[in-house]
Amino acid sequence: MGGSPPLIMKNFLKISLSLLLGALTAFAADYDEQAAAAFNSGLAMVRSNDFRNALRAFRQATQFDATFAAAYLNIGACHERLGEFEKGKPFYEKALKLEKDNANFAFIYAGALMRHGLALEGKKMLEQAVYADPTDPDYVYQLGLSCLVLTQKVEAARCFRAAVDISTNYSAAWFRLGMLELEGGKTNEALRLLEKVELDCAEAPQAYLLKSRLERRLGDLPKAESDVRMALKLSKDYTDAYLTLAQILHAEKKYREACELLERVELKNGLGSWAALLGKIYEEWGDSLLAAGDEKTAKTLYKQGLRFLPEDPSLMKKSEGNN
Give tens-digit pLDDT for 166-184: 999 999 999 999 999 999 9
Q: Residue 95: give its domain's CATH number.
A: 1.25.40.10
Structure confidence at residue 11 (pLDDT): 47
Cα 151 from Cα 64, distance rounded (Å): 45
pLDDT band at 268, cuts 50/70/90? low
What burial letters (b/e) apply to 115-138, b meaning 16+ CB within 10 Å?
bbebbebbbebbebbbebbeebbb
Nearest to 284 by CA among 310, 255, 322: 255
Is 230 domain-assigned?
no
Q: Which helix (H) or strand (E) holds 36?
A: helix 33-47
The model's pTM: 0.82
pLDDT band at 271, cuts 50/70/90? low
Is 45 domain-assigned?
yes
320/249: higher pLDDT: 249
Is 308 domain-assigned?
no
Counting other chains too, the contacts that 92-95 makes at CB distance below 8 Å and 24 or more residues apart are 94/69, 95/69, 95/70
Is 282 domain-assigned?
no
Based on the structure, what is the number of domains in the chain? Answer: 1
User: Rounded to 5 degrees, what angle do the CA atoms 182, 183, 184 make?
Assistant: 85
Residue 300: pLDDT over 90: yes
Is 14 domain-assigned?
yes
Is 118 domain-assigned?
yes
Is 57 domain-assigned?
yes
Structure confidence at residue 17 (pLDDT): 45
Sign of the Cα pseudo-torsion (74, 75, 80, 82, in order): positive
Is 13 domain-assigned?
yes
Question: 109: domain range?
Answer: 1-136
Maximum average pLDDT range among 13-17, 39-43, 209-213, 270-274: 209-213
Cβ count within 10 A of residue 257: 13
Residues 17-72: pLDDT tens digits? 444 554 454 455 556 789 989 998 999 998 888 999 999 999 999 999 999 999 99
